[in-house]
């Protein structure tokens, strides 16, 4: 897979800066991600033929800007309607992700982490339509089977590490999507311990959250650890960016907005 980076944040981020991040993420994909997943890709920055993404002339020149199999947009101001409308107008049917630098600033996180996050998830599930059947995350309901989003970074999204001076996102490993914990298994790349424990299969770390479809409730659920204020903060900020890639997953399986549930609690926000 070739993922085209299209920089629509050039007023605040120049291409030279983006290229440094591209090199670090390509290193991550080749030497960290691919050896575990046997899935690879190359991300590359494409040229910008116009100044404004809604320019009517773009219909004539878009092949120059898009040469890959998927697109990762870099946008400064949060405007999901504009991003989705732009994509549908010019690239409908092509897998895509969006990184908003404004959202990253509010998260107090370098936008390179979000670029890494989105790139890895495009590789793992480019059309946002893969689910993995597994146990309900509530220990009291773990006998119940639900369909988890096939996301590479959500469960560990608050963790990152450095490659060539660039921060990139942690990610889960294939054994994460297994019904039981294999002895000695590694479920995420960094394997950091929280309270002396590493990440469980289909689990979530502090600061992260997961999503799944409950076939009994006919609902999409977002799930995080109880009293995890960092995860709540991240979810509230990211809510402003919904309506792009992940919205496609909701539209396929859920006619209503996703519910939010907390471990060992029944309240729904």
What percentage of residues in the chain have a pLDDT greater than 90?
Answer: 51
Per-residue pLDDT tens over the stretch 102-128:
999 999 999 999 999 999 999 999 888
**Range of weakest confidence among 42-51, 55-64, 144-153:** 55-64
Q: What is the pTM of this model?
A: 0.85
As given in the structure block, the two tokens for residue 253 are 């399986």
Angle at which helix 111-124 crosses helix 15-28, to 10 degrees, equals 50
Encoded tokens for 189? 């790349």
Average pLDDT over residues 26-44: 97
Lowest mean pLDDT among 31-35, 66-70, 242-246, 251-255: 251-255
Domain ranges for the chain, please list them. 2-262
Count Cβ atoms below 10 Å from residue 222 Cβ, excluding itself: 19
- Please write the tens of the pLDDT for every residue from 92-107: 778 888 899 999 999 9
- Residue 268 pLDDT grade (very low, low, confident, very high; cuts 50, 70, 90): very low
Q: pLDDT tens-digit profile of 191-224?
A: 999 888 899 999 999 999 999 999 988 888 889 9
**Beta-sheet pairing, 70-75 with 2-8:** parallel
DSSP letter string over 22-81? HHHHHHHIIIIIHHHHS---EEEEPP-S-SSTT-TTHHHHHHHH--SSEEEEEESS--HH
* pLDDT band with cut points at 50, 70 and 90 for residue 77: confident
pLDDT at res. 94: 84
pLDDT attached to residue 28: 98
What is the pLDDT confidence band of residue 56, given thresholds at 50, 70 and 90? low
CA 26, chain centre distance (Å): 16
pLDDT band, residue 63 (cuts 50/70/90)? low
State residue 244 phi and psi, 5-degree precision. Answer: -110, -125
């Amino acid at each position: 897979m070739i993922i085209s980076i299209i920089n629509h944040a050039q007023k605040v981020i120049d291409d030279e800066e983006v290229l440094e991040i591209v090199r670090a993420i390509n290193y991550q994909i080749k030497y960290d991600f691919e050896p575990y997943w046997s899935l690879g890709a190359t991300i590359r920055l494409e040229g910008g033929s116009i100044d404004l993404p809604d320019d009517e002339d773009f219909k004539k020149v878009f092949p120059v800007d898009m040469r890959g199999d998927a697109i990762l947009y870099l946008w400064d101001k949060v405007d999901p309607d504009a991003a989705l409308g732009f994509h549908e107008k010019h690239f409908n049917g092509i897998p895509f992700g969006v990184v908003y630098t404004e959202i990253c600033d509010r998260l107090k996180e370098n936008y390179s982490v979000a670029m890494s996050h989105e790139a890895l998830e495009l590789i793992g599930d480019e059309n946002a339509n893969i689910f993995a059947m597994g146990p309900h995350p509530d220990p009291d309901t773990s006998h119940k089977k639900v369909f988890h989003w096939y996301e590479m970074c959500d469960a560990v999204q608050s963790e990152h590490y450095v490659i060539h001076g660039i921060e990139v996102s942690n990610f889960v490993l294939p054994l994460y999507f297994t019904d039981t914990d294999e002895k000695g298994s590694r479920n995420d790349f960094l394997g950091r311990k929280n309270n002396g424990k590493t990440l469980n299969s289909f689990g979530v770390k502090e600061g992260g959250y997961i999503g799944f479809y409950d076939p009994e409730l006919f609902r999409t659920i977002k799930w995080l650890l109880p009293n995890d204020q960092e995860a709540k903060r991240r979810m509230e900020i990211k809510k402003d960016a919904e309506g792009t890639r992940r919205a496609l997953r909701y539209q396929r399986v859920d006619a209503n907005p996703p519910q939010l549930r907390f471990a060992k609690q029944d309240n729904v926000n």
